[in-house]
Amino acid sequence: MKKIPVLLKESVDNLGKKGEVVHINDGYARNFIVRKGMGVVLDAKSKKNYDERIAIERKRMEKSEKRALELKNELENNVKIIFQERAGQEGKLFGAITTDRIFSELGKLHPIPGLDKKKIVLDEPIKTIGQHKIGLKLFHGVMANITIEVEELAE
């Protein structure tokens, strides 16, 4: 059987992911994958289009990563969030500071497009007075560390 290269337009179980080039049997490729619109036979024209799309995607990713690194630098140098909370004698808070509260306060001080509370890295809610470091996932492999200051509320 003759195997031909096929560029997948969408992910196919047990075959490959979107954008991959796979070598499959000629009949399977033409009668199923191409006919269902899941892929195209890789010839000179489709290879050129594929290479162009990959180059464009790579540039877009590099630009996004550059913006994320700039944002990381800005956040780490300029953003400090201060919470004033009621606390007990040993510096333990009566409540806790969670990702929800950090997200809403960060949104007021420095709104970040595309940031949601799931991208705030906090091992467990903050329950003590003092300085705490938290992480913000900005991009694949780009993490900004900002400082959270928790002060005792003067009554």
The mean per-residue pLDDT over the stretch 18-41 comes to 91
Q: Yes or no: is domain 3-62 CATH 3.40.640.10?
A: no
- pLDDT tens, residue by residue, 113-129: 878 889 999 989 999 99
Q: What's the rounded Cα separation, in Å, for the pair 127 and 150?
A: 9
Q: What's the rounded Cα separation, in Å, for the pair 58 and 77?
A: 29
Token code pair at residue 112? 């970040």
pLDDT higher than 80, residue 42: yes
Candidates 3.40.47.10, 3.20.20.140, 3.40.1360.10, 3.10.430.100; CATH matching 63-152: 3.10.430.100
The mean per-residue pLDDT over the stretch 43-54 comes to 84
Q: Map out the domains of the chain as residue ranges.
A: 3-62, 63-152
pLDDT at 155: 66
Token code pair at residue 51? 């290479």
Half-sphere exposure of 65 (CA within 13 A, CB side): 9
Would you say 73 and 140 are in contact if contact means Cβ atoms under 8 Å apart? no
pLDDT higher than 90, residue 25: yes
Kind plus residue range of the DSSP H or E element containing 107: helix 99-109
| Residue 31: partners with Cβ closer than 8 Å, 6 or more residues away | none
Which position has the higher pLDDT, 111 or 149? 149
> What is the chain's alpha carbon radius of gyration, rounded to the nearest angstrom?
25
Would you say 65 and 104 are in contact if contact means Cβ atoms under 8 Å apart? no
The pTM of the full predicted model, rounded to 2 decimals, is 0.69
pLDDT at 38: 92
% residues pLDDT > 90 (the chain): 50
